Chains A and B, each alone.
Chain A
Amino acid sequence: MKALLIGEYRQGKLLDTTYELKAFADRLGADSVMLLVGSDTELPKYAGKLYLADAAKYGEYNPDLHKQLVLQAVEKENPDCIVFVHSSYGWDLAPRVAVALKAGQVSEIVALNEGAYEVNACNAKLRRTVTPRSGRCVLTIQAGAFSPSGEPQGTPQLERLELSGTASAIEFVGYEAAEQKGVDLSKAEVIVSAGRGVGKKDNVPVIAALASALGGELGASRPVVDAGWVDHSHQVGTTGQTVSPKLYVACGISGAIQHLAGMKKADFIVAINKDKDAPIGEIADVLVVADVMQFVPAFTAKCAR
């Protein structure tokens, strides 16, 4: 089995997710070659053939041209599958390649299951195994689902790809930095929220410290916001923001319905509460029965390492 891995490159940098493609190919037990529209100065550590096209010429985002480059590599390598990361780059490009090859595409694979691919359905409330019915298939893998086991190694053997022309219906204009207006919790991957259980306003920074240690945002329950401990833009719940992070840590939040309705879509919920019977325990994946002000600093220290 042979996999063509499509690496990712943005704003002049190779993206780390590229290594997850190799990890996936390894899990699949497939031989792999890689394609990257990038630059010589940012080559992946990869022991194999790397088809390199110059991003300066073909753009960092130009799905029309990138599709043609991928098809060229497919022509040369005749792979069984073409693998992308399920990212803004991957999900945009993969179906174009799939249509050109009339290959079936399996999107956002989270696991392998006896030769079939596992994907989530319905907010991960169900899981599907999907099998391609076409000889060749296009796959996109969930970011983070296939982590490299060790440090990536190797030096790629370069083979350059060129297109005869660079005409395209799409013109990339440039990047716009993330906006810094207030807090947009709706897109945060990690949210650590403070509830009345933190005791007083002075304790809020302790919760905020855990949030930043986890690379996330600070959230808050309504009473905490009402009391003026935390600005309203941080409020999670029906009268605040509805959120769906990968990880939600509820610190000292008992779990009033308004709050639960705002955060229950989180993929994984950790609650830290003195009260074992607090309603939040019913939807939490893990309930840590402890004093928030004792547990959180200890845990933050551990995260910061």
Chain B
Amino acid sequence: MKILVCIKQVPDMESRFRPNGEKTWYDESDLAFRMNEYDEYAVEQAVQLKEQLGGEPEITVLSIGPERTVEAIKKALAMGGDRAVHIRDDRYYQKDPWQIASMIASYAKGEAFDLIFTGMQSQDRGSAQVGVIVAELLGLSCATTLVGFSYDGGTITVKRELEGGIKGVAKLKLPALVTCQLGLNTPRYPTLPNIMKAKKKEIASLTPAELSGEAELTATAAIYPPAKKGGGLVLEGDIGVQVDRLMGILKEKTAVLR
């Protein structure tokens, strides 16, 4: 079995974000980067499947991004990936989900993967598209937002997370692509021997030009900090007035009270 896991390196969401000079993406200075959280679930699930199948499957890790992306790739390899493909692209952020997915599909087409794992979305862009588009481009069956996964003889059974904590259970035949959600598993902490081994694993390098020349289908017109949501408002004084004001604020600013 051949497994592909698509991962992205994203900034830690605790950081303070500022638009970049072109106002098309965020400025990378002062940001700490890590593997996209949802992709960690994808890697973990792939490794668990490999363990279940006695180590037979080969796991390829793929990521698109600049030089720093190698750190995330190494982590995925340390968690149990066998080899990696790094599509080196400093301008990755200018590509829309369609272009990113096209690059991945273009690489994967010749590789005949049986199963592809991706995160359900990236934490920075959050479009939740790339996985599904890859599946469509490759003609794979696909399920998103997995919180449960099991494999048995060429068929996978997935639990999708639906709103309100309900889960939808479905079966898919391989080849397939699934996108992973929080709750699917607990990503392992790489052991030291595996960290050391990961340093010696192959990371093939590709350029975007070798893959796909698709034009973008959507474009970022601008990026900016959201209007202050009334931050740091202090309500003092009469309780009744406080209650009314808070009620008004919550109705206006949150989707919770309507």
Contacts and interface: CB of A to CB of B under 8 A. Distances in A.
Interface residues of B, number: 82
Contacts of B168: 61, 88, 172, 174-176
Q: Which of A103, A288, A302 neighbours the largest number of chain B CB atoms within 10 Å of its CB? A: A288
B240 A287 contact: no
A144 interface: yes
A88 B162 contact: yes
Nearest to A169: B141
Contacts of B49: none
Given A122-B124, A179-B165, A129 B222 contact: yes
Interface stretch (A22-30, A183-191, A196-204): A183-191
B8 interface: no
A106 interface: yes
Interface of A: 10-11, 61, 63-64, 86-89, 91-92, 94-96, 98-100, 102-108, 116, 119-134, 137, 143-145, 147, 169-179, 186-187, 189-190, 214-216, 246-247, 264-265, 267-268, 270, 276, 281-282, 284-290, 294-295, 298-299, 302-303
A130 B234 contact: no
23 contacts: A91-B144, A91-B145, A92-B143, A95-B132, A98-B133, A104-B216, A104-B218, A108-B127, A120-B226, A122-B13, A123-B123, A126-B26, A126-B223, A127-B225, A129-B222, A133-B217, A169-B172, A175-B168, A189-B256, A246-B256, A264-B14, A285-B231, A302-B247
Contact of A121 (B125, B142, B167, B218): B125
Contacts of A270: 246, 250
B258 interface: yes
A285 B232 contact: yes
B82 to A, nearest CB: 27
A264 B235 CA distance: 20
A105 B120 CA distance: 16
A127 B18 CA distance: 11
B235 A289 contact: yes
A124 to B, nearest CB: 6
A268 B253 contact: yes
Nearest to B161: A88
A183 to B, nearest CB: 12
A105 B125 CA distance: 13
A143 B255 CA distance: 9
A92 B142 CA distance: 9
Contacts of B145: 88, 91-92
With a 10 A CB-CB cut-off, give which of A95, A98, A169, A189 has the most chain B CB atoms.
A95
B51 interface: no
A99 B166 contact: no
Contacts of B163: 87-88, 143
Interface string B198-238: 00000000000000000111111111111001111111100
A92 B254 contact: no
B129 interface: yes
Contacts of B141: 64, 169-170
Q: Which 9 interchain pairs have the tightest Cβ spacing? A: A178-B165, A104-B217, A144-B255, A169-B141, A95-B132, A99-B136, A104-B218, A173-B169, A176-B167
B149 interface: no
